[in-house]
Structure 1
């Protein structure tokens, strides 16, 4: 009776209970699933630290060397996003005849074979919106101007609606302000708040740490990566250093400083290097310049010294990082759980068991990544569909080829990360020496053996 209340844990199991299928297995799985990762030996921690610490130091040196100190100044062009903007508010909206305000559609040409010739002359008599807009920020606060909204415009203005107005100081006074967008601060802030609330309610402390890591990631992106690229630093070097910093901060902050997290870090690093090599090879081989739309064209015009193909490769690396973290952490955790459930499993059996989990993960992750890129490029794909272009023509055009290279290179890296991380985790956890974990862990073991001897 006195020997029945045995302490839980591997150091207090009865003799002969170390074979597969012994009864304390559920205790191991349960305690691990609801607590931190099981401690590993001092020997194994030293090996991992010998790899991770130099890598972290190299990332820190890279941050110092490439730190930009802020985005460079330039004279605004007034084109696209490079415009001075202020906040405004729609005071009132009146309905007026489009012909009276010269806001009709393109007049028909009489040639019915063209869209302009087929335009209905009656459409020019539709009612347009005449909005009076007040500037609410800046040196001209309180000033009003008139904005004409055509009836077929996708954005219709309403009274008391917040808007974003562009300011052109060199234009005539009556044309200096114009509405460029609506003010979305409230719905976007509310959505962000709901997201944060959901993460905290479900994830609790882990959710809080994930949100902090997300904020740090955006800080690295906006304070280091973007300004450094604008300063003329090599986009690939900036992306590698920035992505590595984000990876280290996010993984250790969300999952704790442990051997298990360190293995996930190493697996992610190897996969990122593979993506960088493949991306560099195929972006150069396919002659992808990275300057394919109005935004990249504007960037190249404002900062011609930026390597646009390098910027494309940097985007591939950063875009793949988030999904890579998920894959490597999942595979590392799977190996650790399998080892805790059956410590007698060797590295080969651990790998075979965990890779079965990884294959399911590969299928879902690759599909997710491809659909994400396809969704972002849907308007472009619709244009090619309207033009009735062949699949080969569409796939090899620079616009679509960029997305294909981005998707496939990232997917190859994700697929490769599963066996790489699984094998690394299996080797590391199998090389553990439990007898040298810590002095605190050894003491209960001695006590347990003493109780068994008394029994």
Structure 2
């Protein structure tokens, strides 16, 4: 416990030193988002509640904390929030369809020993829980891209306010292309970092490449990465168009 307190204190000092008041708000937002996730899990345990609806509400709250609480309410954060929510809605529909078709919910055979003494009759829809997990895992990356594009496009417009809507859109997409590769790789390596022990276990059990790819636990995580990558790619044109529309409308007024 002492180690956790010291690490949290060091993180707080670094964030305040680098970001000042905004850094302090960023540190506090970690606990606020943790509270949102904790409440989301509590509500999901109620069989009468739709986990996907709860996840969407949680995404709105997380977006408000991560964008408005940290960076305050302004044109950039408002557009980033709208872009994030539009992308989440589109992605949510796609993820529900994919989850129903691929049946990735539940536990794999590698996890049978760990859950053998537990009851699986908990009364919740594992398909919807699986879709919720994917959304909660992607919202951070989507918001990151949305606010990056919004900030960059506002800066471009500030220095060159005569740009047309089409030129602004192209600039936003160009910025998004540079972000796309790094964010996708971040998601990819986050998976392999978190599941390195599982891959070592696969190696010790002499799994073939085909067995690894077809194992439920591996395929479900790969689908998570692919869906997250799709969300990151999708938010780029959405955020670029909304920013271009908003900036041109502001100039005309």
* TM-score normalised by L of structure 2: 0.92
**Distance change in 2, residues 1:343/1:266 (3 Å):** same
Aligned to 2:44: 229
Distance verdict in 2 for CA 1:290–1:264, change over 3 Å? same
Compute the displacement of 1:303 (Å).
5.4
Question: What is the Cα-based RMSD across aligned positions, in Å?
Answer: 2.0
Q: Deviations over 1:236-267 (max 9, x none)?
A: 11111111111123211111111221110011
- Determine if contact 1:236/1:314 at 8 Å carries over to the other structure: yes
Q: Secondary structure of 2:206's match?
A: coil
Q: Which residue of the partner structure matches residue 173 of structure 1?
A: none
Q: How many residues align?
A: 250
Task: Please state if 1:348 is matched with 2:163.
Answer: no
- How far has the Cα of 1:422 moved from its partner? 1.1
The equivalent of 1:106 in structure 2 is none
Structure 1 residue aligned with 2:119, among 289, 298, 301?
301
| Counterpart for residue 70 of structure 2 | 254
Deviations 1:59-113 (A, max 9, x none): xxxxxxxxxxxxxxxxxxxxxxxxxxxxxxxxxxxxxxxxxxxxxxxxxxxxxxx
**Structure with higher RCO (Cα < 8 A, 6+ apart):** 2
1:316 alignment counterpart: 134
Structure 2 gap ranges (5+):
none
Q: What TM-score, normalized by structure 1, do the two folds share?
A: 0.52
Deviation at 1:384, TM superposition (A): 2.0
Deviations 1:129-154 (A, max 9, x none): xxxxxxxxxxxxxxxxxxxxxxxxxx
Inter-CA distance 305–296: structure 2 relative to 1 (3 Å threshold): farther
**Given the alignment of the two structures, is residue 391 of structure 1 paired with residue 209 of structure 2, yes or no?**
yes
Q: Deviations over 1:16-71 (max 9, x none)?
A: xxxxxxxxxxxxxxxxxxxxxxxxxxxxxxxxxxxxxxxxxxxxxxxxxxxxxxxx
Partner secondary structure for residue 384 of structure 1: helix
The answer to whether structure 1 residue 374 and structure 2 residue 192 are counterparts is: yes
Distance 1:295 1:306 in 2: 21
Matching residue within 216, 220, 240 for 1:422: 240
Deviation at 1:388, TM superposition (A): 3.2
Which structure carries more strand by proportion?
Answer: 1
Q: Distance in 2 between matches of 1:258 and 1:365?
A: 25
User: Secondary structure of the equivalent of 2:250?
Assistant: coil
1:339–1:300 Cα change, 3 Å: farther
Secondary structure at the aligned position of 1:388 is classed as coil
CA distance in 1 between counterparts of 2:224 and 2:239 reads 22
Quote the residue 2:79 is aligned against: 263
Which has the greater radius of gyration?
A: 1
> Within 2, Cα distance between the matches of 1:229 and 1:208?
31
DSSP 3-state at the match of 1:231:
coil
Aligned pairs (5 A) from 1:58-69: none
**Where do residues 433-452 of structure 1 align in structure 2 (5 Å cutoff)?**
433=251
Distance verdict in 2 for CA 1:344–1:379, change over 3 Å: same
